[in-house]
């Protein structure tokens, strides 16, 4: 945790072996490179000893074999954009960080069966551009995070997107994996090629793909990804809830709509503070600069930006008739509790022009806001929501990480880790019921307030039965006290979650050590598989609580 | 393979330990019991040494620990209805067969979140009856096989049902498993209870549930099962294709309907011979009794029963408006190529009465057939299709196994293994394209003909991208030569599949030894996990090609 710790450099022998394996250009040990890959938005410090950039599965295997011989830890990362959870950080100093961004080929697109085969370096932006520029009638599912994030990396962390294909791991099919001893396996497939490798998810024999997600049992070097056929019609919607007393009815409605398949997107519901972090920065507002917003400040900002307590977004897809019907079903279910706005492709240019005009003229703005029945900032999110729900990534939403940043945030090339923003993601998952969601959210809010932070919560529907209550602790990394508080808040939130018997759907580095506190038998099961596949414990030791930093030592003591 | 082999009985010591662990009533070693559990419809002979019936997970663990101490193989089975794939047979003689049918509690039903928690002894019939008699507005997904089959057993074999919840493993969530050393784990959950155990499928850390399917890594003693909320409206449909030249257009239409979510059921397409095996037996028809149907016989039977070359079935669910819209979308896509008949709940009593009358009077029959536009036997399947697509199991379809049986088949308590019917399932899965499906089906048909068998194929949609081409080799077990031919045909079909680079979605005992011929690296990966979890190789050695009969010996030789 002490940022002054300097990792002991790797031995000369291993560095020269790595250089021989990958070429000298792709093995970095200079201080600047090590700095760059030892940064994260969470309050954790560890410094890697080398950064390597293999260009193929064979090169990945070479690195792994070298690491086994030298008993060095290797921490793979597809693109290194896992902000808020650990980015490229290893738990301990001295690791070899492996970045897979050179492996960025799109190997196959099958339009008839609606899938593609890609490497881990492929980004959302690249993937979407490739399909659109080549005229494929297929849509990707992207995240509302970085457009430069890795499609495979996110799926292996079991991240969640937007569309009906938003369960990213659920839509992976057919993995090529380098095991920790360097052996290459085609999980669910066969060395000689198998025609259903990317169409039938479960394969034959035990279904093993899942063991390579949120784990350290292998390095995925290729994957099939199921894609959404471009629908005949598509509408996005935003939904504003102005009166929080309606939240229970809205939640029940959403659950029913999801369970009956009327809504198949990963519905997002965000609270007012989330909207504010997208729209503004603390330094730009006339509010208290050394703590959370006061109630008066919050009210003033709500009014200034016309933000409702809660905003939701989703999409509907199908034939023209189906979309029309779904619109009427959504209206019937949701209109009693809030304001529902639909957007279709043909309306988008008009909405964008209207937004432009409205920003330029207060009169037009007032007329627009009256006419649409919502505020200009909310209207401004409509085109971004509309794009993201058809797989077109945008950097619009990721700027939230800069809310407490002391300097002006960038408009492009948004990279919170590089800029030393303070951001911790806390991502518990709950049954999607009123009895579970609201008491937990209120308890967490109290913890945020107690530690001096603004309460940020976005609810993402994982499936019709479970909702992720994604919370961000946004803090100023330049303020040591605030940084310490952020970590205390995070630990309090974990304790709150554990006491109420929930778990994280995706876990940050700081929580890995305690991940299986209540499931020691799962800890042992994971450890037995780890020991069978990685006896030297070289692959990301401690990632998701498996083969923790001292596991290898423990084994030696036996 | 020699039915005269008698298994050496278990030692007295292990039998008395098993009796002490379970109670004497639940440990059977009598010849009659061993006979009963050493029967299958496939041409394979092995005789078990004991049959045990544990009543709880703790008792399952006790049996496993005893087996480890005595180095005895344990072959678990939920209900023992896995006909055509191996039923309760172990690969080799002398195993302890473990039947879990006493563990048949329905532990929880959660209507709000649409799931239930059940034990492996729970059958489709029991599960459906429990929900309906208690007024839950939830539907199960059943199979068109035995109503007495195990819900969990089928899901662990990754069997496929009928409705949008027909991917049975895909709809399992939260497993309790006894590992081969007797340790109890809550996969995806935690010992202390976790509220999303049955709502969030992937859990935290590596997703491990899949490793307990089609494998021998543990014994599942409890599982969460997602259920379909009873829809506002529901229609089933049957679809007759009278001209085979339309098959490519039908397949393309079905793929598009499935990919766009218009149809979410596990569409079934069956050829004429499948229909005949449901409707009749060879001994009841005036056809050649010692081989396949001649073309003339086939034509005559087609005419007699009014069977089209292909028949399909599926269902649509939703609000009344959605079902109406889906009907019109299906009509538009399918009517050009065949006859589409929808059935709604309110029509069912009328259809059933009409069928009754029509069987009684040739005149009414002719009028009915003209009016409905289909034959009476096809119409007779409508109520069964309609029930099965809302989770109400029926024995109507499972009678096919008796087609070549030399005696009158039973109308109730259909049990082909008990009755020594000859049935081998061959279940390859293919990409759902015309380029894959038809050449393979034609090649397989030639193999059937060459070996003197009627060609039976049912296509089941696994997902919009993959189709199971399920074939049955129906033979007379009392005829030694025909039995030998059935096995040769099966091996030829496996070779055909392998040459074309397809795999089985679910594999029968006779094929396990060669399952990973083209994926030796997957074989090694499975073997490493097996050795880590079951070092004594006592749990179902050789099941799905893992820890084959000689694996333990090989390990000892190392």
The pLDDT, as a whole number, for residue A9 is: 72
**Per-residue confidence band for B441, with pLDDT thresholds at 50, 70 and 90:** very high
Q: What is the pLDDT of residue B550?
A: 55
Residue with tokens 């344990």: B74
Q: Are B83 and B40 in contact (CB under 8 A)?
A: yes
Percent of chain A with pLDDT over 70: 97
Question: Taking CB atoms and an 8 Å cutoff, what residues of chain A touch B319?
Answer: 260, 262, 329
Q: Among the listed ranges B58-62, B94-98, B223-227, B301-305, which one has the minimum average pLDDT value?
A: B301-305
Residue B414 to residues A268, A449, B83, B294, B426, Cα–Cα distance (Å): 50, 65, 11, 28, 21
pLDDT of residue B396 exceeding 90, the answer is: no
Which two tokens mark A14? Answer: 């291993």
Beta-ladder partners of B473: B424
Chain B residues in contact with A544 by the CB 8 A cut-off are 204-206
Of B113, B210, B504, the CB nearest to A204: B504
More confident of the two residues A9 and B225: B225
Whether residue A330 has pLDDT greater than 80: yes
d(CA A272, CA A276): 6
* Chain A environment of B505 (Cβ under 8 Å): 200, 202, 204
Q: Kindly determine whether residue B318 and residue A211, on different chains, have CB atoms separated by under 8 Å.
A: no
| Confidence check: pLDDT of B6 > 60 | no
Quickly list H helices, A389-519. Answer: 434-450, 480-499
Predicted confidence (pLDDT) at residue B90 exceeds the cutoff of 80: yes
CB contact set of B144 (below 8 Å; sequence gap of 6+): B162, B268, B388, B394, B396, B397, B398
Q: Which of B319, B516, B529 minimises the CB distance to A532? A: B529
Cα B556 from Cα B558, distance rounded (Å):
5
| C-alpha distance across the termini of chain A, in Å | 29
Does A417 score more than 90 pLDDT?
A: no
pLDDT exceeds 70 at position B184: yes
Find where tokens 């690491």 sit. Answer: A67
Chain B residues touching residue A503 (CB < 8 angstroms): 190, 194, 196, 203-204
Does the structure show a pLDDT above 50 at A264? Answer: yes
- To 10 degrees, what angle do helices B272-279 and B376-388 make? 90
Highest mean pLDDT among A350-354, B52-56, B258-262: B52-56
Lowest mean pLDDT among A442-456, B237-251, B395-409: B395-409
Closest alpha carbon within chain B to A328 = B321
Residues of A in Cβ contact (< 8 Å) with B522: 185-187, 190, 205, 208
User: Nearest by CB to A196, which of B114, B209, B431?
Assistant: B431
Query: Distances in Å between the alpha carbon of B97 and those of B63, B77, B195?
Result: 11, 7, 34
Of B317, B503, B532, the CB nearest to A194: B503
What are the tens digits of pLDDT across the range B354-379?
999 999 999 999 999 888 888 888 88
Asked whether B498 and B519 are in contact (CB, 8 A), the reply is: no
For A355, what's the count of Cα atoms within 13 Å in the CB-facing half-sphere? 17
Distance from CA of A544 to the nearest CA of B (A): 6
Q: pLDDT tier at A1 (50, 70, 90 boundaries)?
A: very low
Question: Running DSSP on this structure, what letter comes out for residue A408?
Answer: P
Residue of A nearest to B544 (CA): A205
Look at residue B5 and tell me whether its pLDDT is greater than 50.
Answer: no
What is d(CA B535, CA B513) in angstroms, rounded to the nearest whole number? 20
∠ CA A410-A412-A414 to the nearest 5 degrees? 70
A7-66 pLDDT, tens digit each: 457 899 999 999 999 999 999 999 999 999 999 999 999 999 999 999 999 999 999 999
CA distance B364 to B521: 63
How much is the average pLDDT of A409-419?
A: 86
The pLDDT value given to residue B375: 84
* Rounded Cα gap, residues A510 and A493, in angstroms: 12
CA distances to A169, A517, B530 from B202, in Å: 9, 18, 22
pLDDT confidence of residue A553: 45
What is the mean pLDDT of the segment spanning A161-188? 96
Dihedral sign of CA atoms B98, B103, B108, B111 in order:
positive
Q: Which is it for the CA torsion A471, A477, A479, A483, positive or negative?
A: positive
Whole-number average pLDDT of chain B: 93
Helices and strands (H, E) in chain A, number of each type:
16, 20
CA distance B451 to A148: 58
In sequence order, what DSSP letters do the residues of B23-50 get, joined into one string? -GGGEE-SHHHHHHTT--SSS-----SE
Closest C-alpha among A555, A451, A439 to residue A502: A439
Q: Is B453 helix (H, G, I), strand (E, B) or coil?
A: coil
Question: B131: closest CA among B198, B227, B224, B223?
Answer: B227
Residues linked to residue A226 through DSSP beta bridges, in sequence order:
A115
pLDDT above 80 for B554: no
Percent of chain B with pLDDT over 70: 97
A288 pLDDT higher than 80? yes
CA distances from B198 to B185, B193, B194 (A): 15, 11, 9
What is the reported pLDDT for B8?
53
Measured distance CA(B51)–CA(B30) in Å, rounded: 9
Three-class DSSP category at B246: helix
CA angle B400, B404, B409 (to 5 degrees): 60
Q: Which helix (H) or strand (E) holds A272?
A: helix A272-279
Q: Which of B150, B154, B108, B152 is nearest to B131 (CA)?
A: B108
pLDDT over threshold 60, residue B551? no
Residue A293 has pLDDT above 60, yes or no: yes
**What average pLDDT does range A405-415 have in this prediction?**
87
Q: At A250, phi and psi to the nearest 5?
A: -65, -45
Pairwise CB contact (< 8 Å): B432 & A113: yes
The pLDDT tens digits of the residues spanning B477-517 come to 999 999 999 999 999 999 999 999 999 999 999 999 999 99
DSSP bridge partners of A461? A467
Residues A106, A122 contacting (CB under 8 angstroms): yes
pLDDT for the residue numbered B4: 37
- The string of pLDDT tens digits covering residues B107-136 is 999 999 999 999 999 999 999 999 999 999
Q: What is the pLDDT of residues B229-270, one digit of tens each?
A: 999 999 999 999 999 999 999 999 999 999 999 999 899 999
Neighbours of A422 (CB within 10 A): 26
pLDDT band at B549 (very low <50, low <70, confident <90, very high): low
Predicted pLDDT at B418: 87
Q: What residue in B sits closest to A159 (Cα-Cα)?
A: B202
Question: A189-241: per-residue pLDDT in tens?
Answer: 877 789 999 999 999 999 999 999 999 999 999 999 999 999 999 999 999 99
Instruction: Output the 3-class SS for B380-444.
Output: HHHHHHHHHCCCCCCCCCHHHHHCCCCCCCCCCCCCCCCCCCEEEEECEEEECCHHHHHHHHHHH
> What's the CA gap between B520 and B514, in Å, rounded?
10
Closest CA to B122 of B140, B138, B104: B104
Name residues whose C-beta falls within 8 Å of residue A349's C-beta, 6 or more positions apart in sequence: none
pLDDT tens track for A380-394: 889 999 999 999 998
**What CA–CA distance (Å, rounded) separates A440 from A453?**
17
Residue identified by tokens 């030639």 is B446
- In chain B, the N- to C-terminal Cα span, in Å, equals 29
| Count of CB atoms situated within 10 Å of the CB of B12 | 8
The answer to whether the Cβ–Cβ distance between B465 and A226 falls below 8 Å is yes
* Contact at CB, A546 and B206, closer than 8 angstroms: yes
Q: Which residue of A has its CA nearest to B169?
A: A202
pLDDT band at residue A550 under the 50/70/90 scheme? low
**Strand, helix or coil for residue B118:** strand
Q: What does the DSSP 8-state code read for residue A236?
A: E
- How far apart (Å, rounded) are the C-alpha atoms in residues A158 and B206? 10
Q: How confident is the model at residue B553 (pLDDT cuts 50, 70, 90)?
A: very low
- What mean pLDDT do residues A321-329 have? 96
Which one-letter DSSP state was computed for residue B136? Answer: -
- Answer whether residue A152 shows pLDDT above 60: yes
Distance from CA of A501 to the nearest CA of B (A): 5
Integer Cα distance of B391 and B163 in angstroms:
8
Read off the tokens for B151.
Answer: 């819900």
Provide the CB-side half-sphere exposure for B44 (13 A, CA).
27
CB nearest to B208's CB, from A211, A226, A465: A211
Which pLDDT value is given to residue B71? Answer: 95
CA A149 distance to own-chain centroid: 9
Residue-averaged pLDDT of chain A: 93
Q: Tokens for A256?
A: 């029913």
Structure tokens at B311: 């028949």
Beta bridge pairs of residue A150:
A123
């Amino acid at each position: 945790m002490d940022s002054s710790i300097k990792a002991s450099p790797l031995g000369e022998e291993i560095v020269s072996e790595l250089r021989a394996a990958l070429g000298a250009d792709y093995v970095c040990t200079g201080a600047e490179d090590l700095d760059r890959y030892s940064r994260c938005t969470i309050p954790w410090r560890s410094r890697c000893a080398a950064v390597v950039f293999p260009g193929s599965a064979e090169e990945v295997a070479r690195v792994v074999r070298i690491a086994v011989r030298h008993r060095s830890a290797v921490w793979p990362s597809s693109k290194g954009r896992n902000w808020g959870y650990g980015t490229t950080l290893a738990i301990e100093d001295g690791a070899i960080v492996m970045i897979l961004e050179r492996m960025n080929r799109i190997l196959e697109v099958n339009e008839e069966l609606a899938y593609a085969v890609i490497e881990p370096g492929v980004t959302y932006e690249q993937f979407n551009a490739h399909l659109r520029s080549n005229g494929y009638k297929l849509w990707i599912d992207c995240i509302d995070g970085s457009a430069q994030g890795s499609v495979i990396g996110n799926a292996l962390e079991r991240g969640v997107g937007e569309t009906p294909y938003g369960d990213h791991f659920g839509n992976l099919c057919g993995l090529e994996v380098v095991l920790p001893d360097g052996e290459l396996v085609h999980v669910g497939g066969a060395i000689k090629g198998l025609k259903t490798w990317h169409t039938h998810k479960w394969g034959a024999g035990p279904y093993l793909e899942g063991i390579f997600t949120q784990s350290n049992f292998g390095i995925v070097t290729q994957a099939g990804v199921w894609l959404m056929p471009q629908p005949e019609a598509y509408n996005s919607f935003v939904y504003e809830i102005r009166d929080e007393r309606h939240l229970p009815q809205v939640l029940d409605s959403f659950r029913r709509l999801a369970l009956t398949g009327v809504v198949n997107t990963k519905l997002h519901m965000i609270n007012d503070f989330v909207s504010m972090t997208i729209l503004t920065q603390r330094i730009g507002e006339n509010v208290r600069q050394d703590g959370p917003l006061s109630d008066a400040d919050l009210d003033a900002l709500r009014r200034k930006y016309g933000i409702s307590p809660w905003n939701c977004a989703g999409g509907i897809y199908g034939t023209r008739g189906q979309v029309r019907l779904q619109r009427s079903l959504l209206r019937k279910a949701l209109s009693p509790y809030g304001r529902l706005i639909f957007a279709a492709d043909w309306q988008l240019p008009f909405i964008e022009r209207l937004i432009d005009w409205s920003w330029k003229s207060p009169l037009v703005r007032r007329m627009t806001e009256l006419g649409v029945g919502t505020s200009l900032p909310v209207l401004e999110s409509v085109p971004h929501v509309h794009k993201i729900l058809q797989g077109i990534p945008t950097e619009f939403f990721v700027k939230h990480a800069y809310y407490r940043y002391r300097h002006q945030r960038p408009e492009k090339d948004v990279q919170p880790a590089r800029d030393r923003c303070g951001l911790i993601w806390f991502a518990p998952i709950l049954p999607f019921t009123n009895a579970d969601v609201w008491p937990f959210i209120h308890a967490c809010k109290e913890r945020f307030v107690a530690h001096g932070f603004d309460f940020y919560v976005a609810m993402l529907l994982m499936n019709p039965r479970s909702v992720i209550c994604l919370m961000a602790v946004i803090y100023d990394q330049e303020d040591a006290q605030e940084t310490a508080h952020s970590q205390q808040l995070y630990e309090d939130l974990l304790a709150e979650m554990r006491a109420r018997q929930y778990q994280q759907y995706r876990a940050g580095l700081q929580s890995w050590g305690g991940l299986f506190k209540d499931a020691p038998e799962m800890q042992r099961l994971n450890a037995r598989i780890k020991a069978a596949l990685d006896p030297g414990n070289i692959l990301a030791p401690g990632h998701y609580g498996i083969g923790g930093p001292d596991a290898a030592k423990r084994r030696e003591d036996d």
